[in-house]
Amino acid sequence: MKASIYQQPNPLLKSSFPVLVLFLFSIFSALTEVIPVFGQLRPQLVLATFGLLAVFGTGQFMKVLNSRVGMCFAAFTLWFIACVPFGAWPGGSFQVFIDQWYKAALIFMLSAGLLTTLPQANRLFHAIAYAAGMLGTLTLLKNNRTADGRLVLENTRYANANDLAWTLLVGLTFVAFLYLRGNRTQKIIAVLMSAPILLTISRTGSRAGAMGAALMYFLIIFQFKPSTRIRLLTATPVIFLAIFMLMPASMRLRYTTFFGTYDKYDVSAEERLRMGTIESSEARKQLLIDSLVMTARHPFLGVGPGNFQVVQNDMAIARGEAKGLWHVTHNTYTQLSSEMGLPGLGIYLAMLYFVFKTLNGIIRTKNSGPTWDNLRALARSLRAAFITFLLIAFFAALAWDADVPILAGLTTALGFMAQKQRAIDRAAETQARVEALTPADSTLEPAAVGLY
């Protein structure tokens, strides 16, 4: 069969791709977690098991592992394991590995191994876009609120408002891709889905999410055609005003208050909200300082994955405080440096470097044609998500989050496709040169043997 990134000749890989679609759709939509019956059947575990069997059975595992990003994931996992026995609480680190990281690493393998063709990439990106729209809609309909009024989706992986905002931001990049590359109907659906996603992000009260949304807006808008860009820029004030007016007063107060003073004797609801918001900002500042101190004291192995809260509590008591804050660092970079040392942070940053190198290599490719146009659009969407992550990571602890491994897996898969397409293009160019040098019509005919 002629080499192509449009067809997958391996029947097992081809038949396993729907497993990846269903798996990622269930993660980004939270649909299987919201419906009690589905949750009891553990559909994500079943789908992941079938998908990983295909990845290992077809040799994709070694292909992914030998990629630069795959090597970083392997090195990070090994370093994670090395840090566990030397942590302040080895049992807690081991639990983080079992409950979070090893699953995230396998999800990376699943995403990178089962996505093998360009049509599959388009379908998968569309599926994630629809899932994000469903997540935003479900969250608004259920309207679960925390004690301080922040919107969450209870009993799911999105029970934390910051995690919910981050995943919806990731989903927004796929919605933008649906609009940019979709037909007329898909463009309309993308616009309609943007409303519940943006409204949900605004109601999570995540200030990091708000900054990420603003950054992503500018990253995405410059991918539009000039005419579409002008229309969107014109409509932006109206969209912003609508979201701001539909936002609960408590969330408006949270977004507009970072620092300041409050009256602790004022028991009004507004003053309590202001007090909680200011104290949250002050607590984050203290957590950042403590994470940097922890990094300086344990620069090589850190205090152990997931042990920051425990050690921060000890530090607070040593300072004369009644107890620690018992919160994560709210900074992915110092979360890694304090819990896994500078080598752990270095490996993670190396993974991000190779992700950007892969995506930029695709985007900057000079080859023309619909295939490369499609690849570049896919790569730009992923790059927008990763650039947003670089900002969000300063304000949220996402070191063990599964969304980054998913995005890294999709990036790795796109890198394989681009590598294959470059080989196809080079072969076509070589063939064209050979044909150009070969005479189209030769008047020489072979002579009979006896004539010589």
Share of the chain above pLDDT 90, in %: 73
With 90 as the cut, is the pLDDT of residue 148 above it?
no
Query: What mean pLDDT do residues 254-271 have?
Result: 53
CB atoms within 10 A of CB 226: 8
Model pLDDT, residue 362: 98
Neighbour tally for 275: CB within 10 Å: 16
Q: Which amino acid is at 205?
A: G
Q: List the beta bridge partners of residue 152.
A: 144
Q: Choose the weakest-confidence range: 106-115, 141-150, 353-362, 404-413.
A: 141-150
What whole-number distance in Å separates Cα of residue 175 and Cα of residue 180? 9
Average pLDDT estimate for 212-225: 86
Count of CA atoms in the C-beta half-sphere (13 A) of 404: 26
Q: Band of the pLDDT at 300, cuts 50, 70, 90?
A: very high
**Quick one: tokens of 300?**
């090589």
Q: Give 424-442 pLDDT, tens digit per residue.
A: 999 998 888 888 887 655 5
Q: Could you report the per-residue pLDDT of 109-122, keeping only the tens digit for each?
A: 999 999 999 999 99
* Nearest-angstrom CA–CA distance, 340 and 79: 8
Of residues 385, 299, 380, the one with CA closest to residue 339: 299
pLDDT digits (tens, 9 = 90+) for 333-383: 999 999 999 999 999 999 999 999 999 999 999 999 999 999 999 999 999
pLDDT level of residue 260 (50, 70, 90 thresholds) = very low
